[in-house]
Structure 1
Amino acid sequence: MKKNMYTRITIVLFIIGLMMAIQYNTIRKPAERDTRDIWAIREELSEEKKRHSTLLAEIRSLNAVVDRYEQSEETNMQVVLSETVEKLKLQAGLTEITGPGVILRINPAPELVAMGYEIEEVSPDLLIQLTNALFKYGATNVAIDGHRIVLTSAIRDINGKTTVNSVPLSSPPFEIYVGTNSHKDAQKMYNSIQASTFIDSFYLDNFNLIIEEPIDELTIPAFENSLTNDFLKEVKKGE
């Protein structure tokens, strides 16, 4: 009888000791805390809210298209379908577009030209950084030296030549067209680039980055190449 009692007491003490050990270990090794300051968290929250707003806008747009399909008679279905195709082509950059924007000019440094130095290629990495910044600043459409930037565009070095969409860029000077939604956005774009470090970065590479005043009528050419499609497949009629 006493042996059973001792056994039970031993088990209870073992469980209590195990729980105390776990608690002690938890106190000594607390879970990793988020050490970011309030502004970093607010900035991340702001980006998430922007993505949320963009998704809601896309959902509303798609719902509107569905409603039009449902409300249209069969005779008008072709018209609605054609409008949808044109809208998708516009979003994909397959059509020329005119609207407010800013023109950037990349010129070789005058002192290099005066001294007769050979003008080198603009670095692909610098162009990539600039292009990413332009979209971050609110650009809707970008064309570099007449080559439209789309989702599948690539800026890279091919055999010592800087290329956009696999086409070599012209030797500087050349222009970058940046389209925006409104003149106000174009003005913000102008101010953001002026306040950035890109002017100094291009100067270090012996180029002058010139930002012209915003204009209301800037024509950005369409994407000239054919878009590649690795995932979607056309469904045959009747399937």
Structure 2
Amino acid sequence: MRKTVYIRFTIVLLIIGFMLAIQFNTVQNPETRDTRDIWAIRQELSKETETHSELLSEIYVLDQTILKYGNMVSESAELALQDTVEQLKKDIGLVEHTGPGIIIKVEPSLESVALGQPVEGISPDLLIRLINEINRFKANDIEVDGKRIIYSSPIRDVNGKTTVNNIPVRNAPFTIKIGTSTFEDAQKMYNQLEASTIGDDFYIDNLKLKIGKPEQNITISSYDQALNNQFLKEVPEGES
């Protein structure tokens, strides 16, 4: 009889110990909860919705291109190929852009002018940061001091001068033109650049960014240098 009582008592203690262990583990490792407020969640949801909308727009454009290409192939393969080539030239910057956009002026800061400090050229790192910031807001076309930026445009220091496409960029003042798909995109670009902290980086280098209001029509020159096609080779006529 006493042995049975001991066994039951031991089982009860085991159960109690097991429950205490579970409770202790729960207290030490609580379930991770999202502590963001409702506005932070709404902003995140808004960003995801905007990204989803942009992807749908890109899919629609590609679908229309495929449909157009298919229709043109049935009529004329040469015409379809020519149309595709022209679109590719436009996409990579080999065609002059005329359309909505904004113009940024890079000027010496007021402080440097007041103190009579010499105007220094923009550094390659700072110019690259600005272009990355512009591209982050989905610019279509960019021109720096009359030099069209394309996928292969080098920005580097050559003998103490910042160069774009191996051509020196003038000391401030000079302009940067940004082309967008629509006027609404130009307005969004303007607001985003105004809210960006990139201007603070320019002040450190005694430079100032003057962001112009969105315009309906600006002209951005085409890329006027030879392209280096490292992996593409022209097929002689008659070969397939």
The two structures have a TM-score, normalised by structure 2, of 0.71
Moved more, 33-42 or 94-103: 33-42
Q: 1:3 — aligned with what?
A: none
Q: 1:178-232: per-residue Cα shift (whole Å, max 9, x none)?
A: 11233344344445444544455433422233333433321112234526566x8
Are residue 30 (structure 1) and residue 56 (structure 2) matched? no
Cα offset, 1:99, TM superposition: 0.9
SS in 1 for 2:119: coil
| Residues 144-183 of structure 1 mapped to structure 2, 5 A cutoff | 144-183=144-183
The amino acid of 1:210's aligned partner reads K
1:107 aligns with 2:79: no
Unaligned runs of 5+ in 2: 1-9
For residue 176 of structure 1, report the CA deviation from its aligned partner.
0.3
**Residue of structure 1 in register with 2:94 after alignment:** 94
Q: 2: CA distance between counterparts of 1:15 and 1:169?
A: 78
Gaps of 5+ in 1: 1-9
Flag the 1:56–1:185 CA change in 2: closer, same or farther, 3 A.
closer
Change (3 A) 1:229 1:46: farther
Higher alpha-carbon deviation: 142-151 or 152-161: 152-161
Summarize the Cα distance change of 1:186–1:59 in structure 2 as closer, same or farther, 3 Å threshold: closer
CA distance in 2, matches of 1:99, 1:65: 21
Displacement of 1:31 in angstroms is 4.2
Greater Cα offset, 81-90 or 178-187: 178-187
**Which secondary structure state, in structure 2, belongs to the residue aligned with residue 99 of structure 1?**
strand
1:89/1:40 CA distance change after superposition, 3 Å: farther
Return closer, same or farther for 1:87/1:23 CA change in 2, 3 Å cut-off.
farther
Equivalent position SS for 1:30: coil
2:155/2:162 contact within 8 Å kept? yes
* Deviation string, structure 1 residues 2-22 (Cα, Å, up to 9, x no partner): xxxxxxxx9xx9899779746
Q: 2:73·2:80 contact (CA, 8 Å) conserved in 1?
A: no
DSSP 3-state at the match of 1:52 = helix
CA RMSD of aligned residues (A): 4.1
Distance 2:124 2:42 in 1: 33
Counterpart CA distance in 2 for 1:94 and 1:29 is: 59
Conserved 8 A contact 2:72-2:79: no
1:208 has 2:208 as partner: yes
Alignment of 1:107-146 (within 5 A): 107-109=107-109, 112=112, 117-137=117-137, 139-146=139-146
Q: Residues of 1 paired with 2:137 and 2:74: CA distance? A: 43
Q: Write the deviation string for residues 149-185 of structure 1: whole angstroms up to 9, x where unpaired.
A: 3344454445533233454322222110011233344
- Identical counterparts, % of pairs: 48
Q: Secondary structure at the match of 2:91?
A: helix
Q: What's the counterpart of residue 7 of structure 2?
A: none
Q: Give the 3-state SS of the residue equivalent to 1:127 in structure 2.
A: helix
Task: Count residues with an aligned counterpart.
Answer: 231
Aligned to 1:56, the other structure's residue is in SS state helix
Q: Corresponding residue for 2:227?
A: 226
State TM-score, norm by structure 1: 0.71
**In 2, distance between residues paired with 1:197 and 1:160?**
26
SS at match of 1:219: strand
Deviation at 1:113, TM superposition (A): 5.8
User: Structure 1 residues 54, 152: closer, same or farther in 2, change over 3 A?
Assistant: farther
* Distance in 1 of aligned mates of 2:20 and 2:111: 76
Measured in 1, the distance between the counterparts of 2:172 and 2:209 equals 11
- Which whole-Å CA distance do the structure 2 matches of 1:233 and 1:39 have between them? 53
